[in-house]
Amino acid sequence: MKKVIKNVSKWLLPLLIAAGILYYMYHDFDFHEVWTLLTEETKMVWLFVSLIFILLSHYLRGIRWLLTLEPIGYRPRTINSVLSIYIAYASNILVPRVGEISRCGVLAKYDGIPFSKSLGTLVAERIVDFILAFAIFAVMMIWQFEKLYTIFDKTGTGESGISLLLKNPWFYVIVAIFIALFFFVHHLFKRSKKPAVTGVKKTIDNFVEGFISLKNIKRPGLFILYTLLIWLCYYLEFYICFYSFPFMAELGPLAAAVVFSAINVAIIIPTPNGAGPWHFVVITLLGLYGIAEPQAASFALIVHTFQTIFVLIFGATAWILLQLINRKYHEN
């Protein structure tokens, strides 16, 4: 029963978070305006162009994964690695964060790569992406500080929430507790010879081996290139949508970069395809660039819904192709 409740909560909690934010942003919104904008003013061709960059970013992520698997002695078929990415992104829409599991499951099933080892490489590349996301956000914050300051300074004291957090002694107490807990668990696993604990220790060792694969990448320059191209595609799949709407086309690439950088931090909150946090950030920041809230809300709703639907379609198509290709491969 506890397991059922736990599994349901993993699915239900992100959905409730998304629903709560979306209700807050759209509870008094006139949805008829969205339909009018979509059918009469939106240039759909640019929305479809954005899908090209979604497809390309997924492909690049799939071939980048091969570089992190190589140092630990595994070389899955490229098609399986790439298709697993499309499936992962679609899975994350249905159940947030389950995409990581589906990615590793694909390689475990069709290429025999241990789940824990592939998960280690996945987490390693995710950390690289998080670092880059926060670096982009920091650059945009500094560059556009005067414009963004009004959003982040809500204390009335001239200090940001982060500044106040760092001055709170309880923050350091909690950090210390987590560090101490980590070393205690590590020491426990290291000394224990019990089969159950040994099995967990082996899984952790495989995970660590996958994580440190980054320092052993044979072609680090190519890894960096793929990473930069992936993020360029992420940016373009967002910015290109500006040209679909008459009130957005003149904002320019800098405004898009600011909003894009904040989105990547906000979607750390696990909701289906970032729904809720994505909309909140887009609507809030576009207001700083002179876009009226109803227009910004319409833009956010149309773009996010359109791209989400096609990510699901891409994922379903990838799943079908994965079955067909591997069935034919194993028959031969």
pLDDT, tens digit (0-9, with 9 covering 90-100), for 211-235: 566 777 888 899 999 999 999 999 9
Q: What is the residue range of 254's domain?
A: 44-153+211-267+288-314
* Displacement of CA 258 from its chain's centroid (Å): 17
Domain annotation covers residue 205: no
The single-letter DSSP state of residue 40 is I
pLDDT of residue 43: 94
Inter-residue contact 107 to 100 (CB < 8 Å): no
Domain annotation covers residue 17: no
pLDDT of residue 273: 85
Short-list 295, 291, 285, CA closest to 147: 285
* CA distances for 305 relative to 34, 56, 257, angstroms: 12, 19, 21
Short-list 270, 297, 267, 274, CA closest to 284: 297
pLDDT of residue 309: 96
Domain annotation covers residue 219: yes
Domain annotation covers residue 37: no
The single-letter DSSP state of residue 1 is -
* Cα radius of gyration (the chain): 22
Query: Which tokens sit at 32?
Result: 């008829």
**Which stretches in the chain have pLDDT values below 70?**
1-11, 145-213, 328-332
Query: Which tokens sit at 161?
Result: 């929430």
Domain annotation covers residue 192: no
pLDDT of residue 195: 47
Residue 67's SS3 state is helix
Inter-residue contact 102 to 91 (CB < 8 Å): yes
- Which amino acid, residue 21? I
Inter-residue contact 108 to 84 (CB < 8 Å): no
pTM: predicted TM-score of the whole model, two decimal places: 0.78
Query: From the CB of residue 260, how many other CB atoms can be counted at a distance below 10 Å?
Result: 24
Domain annotation covers residue 179: no
The CA-CA-CA angle for residues 97, 151, 28, to 5°, reads 75
b/e code 174-203 from CB counts within 10 Å (16+ = b)? eeeeeeeeeeeeeeebeeeeeeeeeeebeb
* Alpha-carbon gap, residue 275 to 18, rounded angstroms: 6
Domain annotation covers residue 123: yes
Determine the length of the chain. 332
No. of helices (H) and no. of strands (E), the chain: 14, 0
Domain annotation covers residue 182: no
* Alpha-carbon gap, residue 9 to 164, rounded angstroms: 32
At 154-165, the pLDDT tens digits run 444 445 444 545
User: What's the total number of domains in the chain?
Assistant: 1
Q: What's the CA dihedral at 141, 142, 147, 149 to 10 degrees? A: 70
Inter-residue contact 258 to 285 (CB < 8 Å): yes
